[in-house]
């Protein structure tokens, strides 16, 4: 009999296996794929953003999906513990912008191989190409894992770490939701988060700005009544279907929720290309530049105020002849240009599918999980960790931090449960 069976070899499952073994349990790790750590290997653009070094309260603020639940798992294993964990295993880490922590090697494979070596050193038994059909209980306690090949594995505890429904080619195909439901758990509605946004605006469909990157902008989502729902700063890129890049990914869940809440076919978004300067100050500065060079063409004097292609589109949108000399351009026209730079408005109609998302929103309700151990409140000996839970953060190391923290907490919780019961 296995004391702890971990199902799923992603970030949460690998960390749960290490933690349970470090706390003295005999562990079997099952994964339906042919290799472990597939999602980890492609995270952070293949560099693996192992965590984020922000102070705890800021970290929680970057986990919009039930972030407050994470206070307890973080009290067991937080971002600083993650950093120490990897450094002790010989992986040198470096801090980049916005607190993101990467291996100095810039290779996600370094992280995967180190975790696999640690699992091996701890004597964890690993079985790949092993798909689970169902979990079985005896008198409200976990008793058995039923495999799809008909094999039945007796166990004292099970840690479910199968991921959500996003990035399915890594094995996250929502397998555990039926198991959780069968155990009496609530599955909150699943939706894509950290996903590119789609738009049917003519300028998007005609690919006028396709491939244009905007740096250090503010991107906002607006309700139909004109009220601002959410703003994120950072970079974005126009694509052939809409927009992507960090700021767009962070806004995506608010687009999904607004479309649903207001039952509208589209929702308004706005871009502020110059967030550090108020509109009036930008207007006055532009007027001064124009007055200084009255004979030059408008497009020449305004060059540099925003990316060239964007300005070109603004002139087109406002029907302005940018070749006119500055002296002949009315102040109202300059005000309109500034207005577009400070509040470029367009409508979006949704996002790419949950399969194309980086992260799954929704999942096993955290109200039914003990936060200090990740133990199910519905069945004894059943634990959950990682993205299968209704917890999600923004991109930038927050989701992987939740995966490692809940994974470690579940592993420790399961090992302590085994020793307490035996």
Torsion of CA 300, 302, 307, 310, to 10 degrees: -100
365 burial class (0-12, 13-18, 19+ CB within 10 angstroms)?
A: middle
Kindly report the backbone phi and psi dihedral angles of residue 321, in degrees, each rounded to the nearest multiple of 5, phi listed first: -85, 100
Alpha carbon distance 135, 153 (integer Å): 10
* pTM across the whole model: 0.92
In terms of Cα–Cα distance, which of 271, 265, 253 is closest to 359? 253
pLDDT digits (tens, 9 = 90+) for 307-352: 999 999 999 999 999 999 999 999 999 999 999 999 999 999 999 9
Alpha carbon distance 236, 212 (integer Å): 9
Alpha carbon distance 248, 253 (integer Å): 10
249: its two tokens:
């990914």
pLDDT digits (tens, 9 = 90+) for 351-376: 999 989 889 999 999 999 999 999 99
Alpha carbon distance 40, 239 (integer Å): 26
**Integer angstrom CA distances of residue 317 from 140, 202, 214, 283, 334:** 65, 11, 18, 19, 14
The pLDDT of residue 160 is 98
Going along the chain from its start, the domains and CATH numbers come out as 2-190+359-421 (3.50.50.60), 196-351 (1.10.8.100)
The pLDDT of residue 98 is 85
342: its two tokens:
């400070």
The pLDDT of residue 100 is 92
The pLDDT of residue 422 is 59
**Integer angstrom CA distances of residue 111 from 52, 86, 168, 391:** 15, 8, 21, 23
The pLDDT of residue 62 is 95
In which residue ranges of the chain is pLDDT below 50?
none
């Amino acid at each position: 009999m296995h004391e702890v069976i971990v199902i799923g070899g992603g970030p949460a499952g690998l960390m749960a296996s290490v933690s349970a073994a470090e706390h003295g349990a005999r562990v079997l790790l099952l994964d339906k794929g042919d290799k472990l750590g597939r999602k980890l290997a492609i995270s952070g653009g293949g560099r693996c953003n192992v965590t984020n070094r922000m102070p705890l309260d800021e970290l929680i603020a970057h986990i919009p999906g039930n972030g407050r639940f994470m206070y307890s798992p973080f009290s067991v294993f937080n971002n600083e513990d993650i950093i120490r964990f990897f450094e002790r295993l010989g992986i040198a880490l470096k801090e980049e912008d916005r607190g993101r922590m990467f291996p100095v090697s810039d290779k996600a494979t370094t992280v995967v191989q180190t975790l696999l070596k640690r699992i091996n050193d701890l004597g964890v038994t690993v079985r790949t190409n092993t798909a689970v059909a169902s979990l079985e209980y005896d008198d409200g306690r976990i008793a058995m894992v039923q495999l799809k090949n008909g094999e039945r594995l007796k166990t004292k505890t099970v840690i479910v770490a199968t991921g959500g429904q996003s990035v399915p080619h890594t094995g996250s195909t929502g397998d555990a939701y039926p198991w959780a439901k069968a155990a009496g758990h609530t599955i909150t509605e699943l939706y894509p988060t950290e996903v590119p946004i789609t738009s049917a605006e003519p300028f998007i469909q005609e690919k006028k700005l396709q491939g244009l990157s905007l740096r250090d902008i503010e991107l906002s989502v607006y309700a139909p009544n004109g009220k601002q729902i959410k703003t994120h700063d950072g970079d974005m890129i126009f694509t052939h279907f809409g927009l992507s890049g960090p700021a767009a990914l962070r806004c995506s869940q608010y687009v999904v929720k607004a479309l649903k809440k207001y039952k509208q076919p589209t929702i308004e978004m706005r871009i502020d290309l110059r967030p550090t300067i108020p509109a009036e100050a930008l207007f006055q500065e532009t007027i001064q530049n124009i007055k200084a060079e009255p004979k030059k063409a408008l497009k020449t004097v305004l060059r540099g105020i925003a990316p060239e292609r964007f300005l070109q589109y603004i002139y087109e949108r406002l029907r302005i002849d940018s070749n006119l000399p500055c002296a002949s351009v009315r102040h109202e026209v300059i005000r309109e240009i500034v207005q577009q730079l400070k509040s470029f408005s367009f409508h979006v109609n949704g996002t790419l599918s949950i399969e194309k998302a980086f992260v799954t929103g929704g999942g096993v309700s955290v109200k039914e999980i003990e936060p200090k151990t990740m133990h199910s409140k519905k069945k004894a000996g059943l634990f959950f960790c990682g993205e299968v839970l209704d917890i999600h953060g923004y991109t930038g190391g927050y989701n992987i931090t939740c995966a490692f923290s809940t994974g470690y907490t579940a592993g420790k919780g399961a090992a302590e449960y085994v020793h307490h019961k035996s």
